[in-house]
Structure 1
Amino acid sequence: MKKLTALFLSLAMVVGLAACSSGAPSSSESSAPETSVPQATSESDETSSVGSENTDADTSKTLVVYFSASGNTEEAANYIAQITGGDLFELKPADPYTNDDLDWTDDNSRVSQEYYDESLRDVELTSDTVENWDSYDTVLIGYPIWWGIAAWPVNTFVKANDFTGKTVIPFCTSASSGLGQSGDLLAELAGTGDWQDGQRFRSSVSEADVQEWLDGLNLD
């Protein structure tokens, strides 16, 4: 009888423990590990990306070409490039001009001799072609005024390039002389391109002067 009672009690305890165990969650179920799920690209994101590519493709590229004898035209060109975001290309004579060469008051100076003898104005440049030239839509060409016309080292560049399909805008620096016919003469020399009216800046050109001029051009 005692053995039967003990067996009954043991059986009851086993059943009770089994019931308690089935009601408690395991640790793996209560704290599942995080997984890395790739994020889907939304339709709006794709549209935005395509739109930005098209915007870049449609943006006009600007090139600022310049010859500077004493630094004034270079300053103007730098301002133009900074404001427009354009690229710079300096025209450098293979035989650089010295200060004595540029002394126009001396009849024997280089520029004076070149002025008197047009055959001497064919100035060789270290480079007269621009990389990716076809990618530029707008070309601004700067120079000092020499005897009422564009400094002739610019002629070499103009003759060496095809401006077809490009908007070309001349600008110059001078102490007193205006732009004159310098832009028209360069356009005639080029024979191609849509040449616009140019701008003359005083020798002490300021960024404000350049900004005001560019605001009126609507290059964007």
Structure 2
Amino acid sequence: MKDYKKVLTSIIVSVAAMVSLSACSQANGASRSSTAASTVTAETSDLSSSANESAGDSPTQDTGKGNILIAYFTLPMEDGVDAVSRASRKQSDDGTFGNIMYMAHVIQKNAGGELFSIETAQKYPTDNMDDLLEFAAKEKSDNARPELSTHIENLDDYDTVFIGYPNWNADLPMPMYTFFEEYDFSGKTMIPFVAHGGSGASRTVSTIKELEPGATVIDDPVTVYWDELDNAESIVTEWVQNLEY
């Protein structure tokens, strides 16, 4: 009888031990699963963060130098010559552009910002260079102020304004006079860029300073000669990268 009780007691102890070990094993397994789940969540979070950072790395994002506007005036000629500067249109992977428009896109690619095209209500003769030259010369002699058909609605949003235009008869195109009289750029940094047929920027930068005395106008504009248009991207890119503003 005593031997029977000993055997029964031994069986009970063994079963209890097995139950205890099983419970311990399940608890440890749950703990390991919880740890693994936490690790996966953390890794997924890191990947998501990296993806968001990559998505924000846009060529037109704010560069940290303030909000940027790139305003430009151009009249692409129908025969492939761009206004009085006589520059051919530029063919790129993004399309075909007149010289100033192309320079504006290169600036945006390197500095960010928003593009704004300065356009006039009146139409200019763009099918014949001589007619356009004569028209532009008469506008200058009349000290004309052509009406603009596009307008900046949120100028206060911008700290830096790139200003692009062709050099017409060693002067600003007359629509640019209208533009500068319409807006007060006081407190803003203005950076000219110019296309020309051999005269560079002439004294157009000094004229902008006179028209916008409250603005800081950069003295070193980029100028692209018509036969340099194929090199415009490298010229403008290097200029933007070396600007201090």
Give the match's secondary structure for 1:146: coil
Equivalent runs, 1:136-155 vs 2, <5 Å:
136-155=158-177
SS in 2 for 1:143: strand
Task: Say whether residues 1:129 and 2:152 are aligned partners.
Answer: yes
Deviations 1:139-182 (A, max 9, x none): 11010111111112222222222212211121211111221121
Question: How far did 1:77 drift?
Answer: 1.5
What percentage of aligned pairs have identical amino acids? 28
Structure 1's 107 and 19: CA in aligned 2 closer, same or farther, altered over 3 A?
closer
Choose from 26, 30, 42 the match for 1:31.
26
> Of the candidates 5, 15, 19, which is equivalent to residue 13 of structure 2?
19
Offset at 1:111? 2.7
Residues 79-105 of structure 1, C-alpha deviations (whole Å, 9 max, x = no match): 1221222322111223343414x73x3
1:66 maps to which residue? 72
Q: CA offset at residue 130 of structure 1?
A: 4.5
Structure richer in helix, relative to its length: 2
Change (3 A) 1:106 1:8: closer
Aligned to 1:114: 139
1:115 counterpart SS class: helix
> Relative to structure 1, is the Cα distance of residues 16 and 201 closer, same or farther in structure 2, using a 3 angstrom cutoff?
same
Conserved? CA contact 2:126–2:132, under 8 Å:
no
Q: Aligned partners of 1:126, 1:194: CA distance in 2, in Å?
A: 26
Looking at structure 2, the residues matched to 66 and 113 of structure 1 have their Cα atoms a distance apart, in angstroms, of 22
Deviation, 1:194, is 0.9
- Partner residue of 1:201 out of 198, 221, 224: 224
Matches of 1:107 and 1:134 in 2, distance apart?
35
Match of 2:198 in 1: 176
Between the two proteins, the alignment pairs up a number of residues equal to: 192
Partner Cα separation in structure 1 for residue 108 and residue 26 of structure 2: 61
Q: What displacement does 1:126 show?
A: 2.4
Identify if the C-alpha distance between structure 1 residues 170 and 191 changes in structure 2 by more than 3 Å, giving closer, same or farther.
same
- Deviation (angstroms), 1:11: 2.8
Name the CA distance, whole Å, in 2 between partners of 1:27 and 1:152. Answer: 91
Deviation at residue 10 of structure 1 after TM alignment: 4.0
Contact 2:63 2:112 survives alignment (8 Å): no
Q: Which has the larger radius of gyration?
A: 1
Q: Which runs of 5+ in 1 are unaligned?
A: 1-6, 40-55
Alignment partner of 1:163 is 2:158: no
The whole-number CA distance in structure 1 between the counterparts of 2:22 and 2:170 is: 92
Aligned-partner SS, 1:89: strand
Gaps of 5+ in 2: 43-61, 77-97
Deviations 1:35-62 (A, max 9, x none): 46697xxxxxxxxxxxxxxxx7954333
Q: Are the equivalent residues in 2 in contact too, given 1:170–1:183 (CA < 8 A)?
A: yes
Q: TM-score, normalised by structure 2?
A: 0.67
